[in-house]
Structure 1
C-alpha cells in the first residue's frame, strides 16, 4: 500500500459525514507505519475505544470506513477467527460494525465482520506479527495468494458497506 497523508485519509471516508471525518482521530505516526507490508491501514481510536477505522485503496483511490466494536467484555476471553486474514486469537478478535454508506446509513443500516482487534491483519498474514500458537491454519497457499485473499476479503467488506 502506498503511504497516505492525513488529508487523503480524511477525504477517503465513505460512511460518515465530512464533519465527522474532520473530527475523527487519525494516527500521528503515519510516516512510521510499515506501508510496504500493509494491505490496508487500520487503527483504533485512542479516545473512544469502541471506534476503529479502516483505509484501503480500491480502483486506485483511497477509501475509508468508520467502525464500532460493540462486543461485550466477556467475548475477549473466547477464541475467534478474523474474517479478513483468517488468523485465530484468544481475546484478539472483535465484531466490528460499519454504518452503510449513503441513504442506507441515514436509515440506520450497518454491516459487520469479525476482525483482528488490533487491525494488524496484513502483518499476521506476512508473519511479521505473531498471534500465538495455532493462530494461523496450515495452508498450501503461497504468501502472495494469502495476501491476495486478504485484499479480496477487505474489498468485499468495503463493497458491503458501500452497497
Structure 2
C-alpha cells in the first residue's frame, strides 16, 4: 500500500457524514506505519468503541469506510472473521456494518460482516501457524492475498452506489 497522510485518509473515507468526519480520530502512529507491508489500514476509534475504519486501495486509489460494531455478545465459543478467515474466540470477532456510500446510504442501506474485533486481520494472516486446530492450513501468501481480496470486495460493495454518482 502506498504511504498515506492523515489528510489522504480523511479524503478517502466515502461513507461518513460530516459529523463522523469531524470526530474521526486517526491514530498518531499513522506516520510510523510500515506501508510496504500493509494490505490495508484499519483501526478502532479510541474515542468511540463502536466505530472502526478501513482504508484500502481500490483501482489504485485509497478508499475508506466507517464501520459500526454491533452491540451485544454471542453465545458461541468460536467465530470466524470473514476477512482473514481466522478462527478466534467469539468475543474476538464482531459484527461490523458499514453504511453504503451515496444515495443508498442516505436511505439507510448498509452491509455487514464478521471481522476481527480489533481489526488486526492484516497481522493475523501473517502468523505462520494457524490460530486454531480446525483452521484450514493455507500458505501465508495465499492467506494474505485472500484477506486483501475479501477486504477490497467488502469495501467495493459499500462503494457500489458511489461509483455511479462521481
- Structure 1 segments, 4+ long, off by >6 Å, are none
Indicate the SS of the match to 1:29.
Answer: helix
User: After alignment, is 114-123 or 15-24 more displaced?
Assistant: 15-24
Describe the shift of the 1:119–1:11 C-alpha distance in structure 2 as closer, same or farther (beyond 3 A): same
What's the CA shift for 1:155? Answer: 1.1
Whether 2:79 is the aligned partner of 1:88: answer no
Q: Which residue of the partner structure matches residue 100 of structure 1?
A: 100
Indicate the SS of the match to 2:74.
Answer: helix
Which string of whole-angstrom CA distances, capped at 9 and with x for unpartnered residues, describes residues 87-134 of structure 1? 111121000000000000110110001000111111111118x8x851
Describe the shift of the 1:26–1:135 C-alpha distance in structure 2 as closer, same or farther (beyond 3 A): farther
Superposed CA RMSD in Å reads 2.2
Whether 2:145 is the aligned partner of 1:148: answer yes
Q: Which residue of the partner structure matches residue 164 of structure 2?
A: none
| Kept after mapping to 1: 8 A contact 2:127/2:140 | no
Q: Which residue of the partner structure matches residue 110 of structure 2?
A: 110
What's the CA shift for 1:24? Answer: 0.9
* Residues in 1 aligned to 2:134 and 2:32: alpha-carbon distance in whole angstroms: 26
| Kept after mapping to 1: 8 A contact 2:81/2:115 | yes
Describe the shift of the 1:133–1:14 C-alpha distance in structure 2 as closer, same or farther (beyond 3 A): closer
Indicate the SS of the match to 1:8.
Answer: helix
* Residues in 1 aligned to 2:94 and 2:111: alpha-carbon distance in whole angstroms: 14
Under a length normalisation based on structure 2, what TM-score does the superposition of the two structures give? 0.86
Q: Which residue of the partner structure matches residue 61 of structure 1?
A: 61
| Kept after mapping to 2: 8 A contact 1:87/1:135 | no
Which string of whole-angstrom CA distances, capped at 9 and with x for unpartnered residues, describes residues 119-158 of structure 1? 1111111118x8x85177232x432222111111011101
Describe the shift of the 1:20–1:138 C-alpha distance in structure 2 as closer, same or farther (beyond 3 A): closer
1:1-163 to 2 correspondences below 5 Å: 1-18=1-18, 20-72=20-72, 74-75=73-74, 78-90=77-89, 91-127=91-127, 133-134=131-132, 137-139=135-137, 141-163=138-160
The alignment covers a number of residue pairs equal to 159
Unaligned regions of 5+ residues in structure 2, if any?
Answer: 161-166
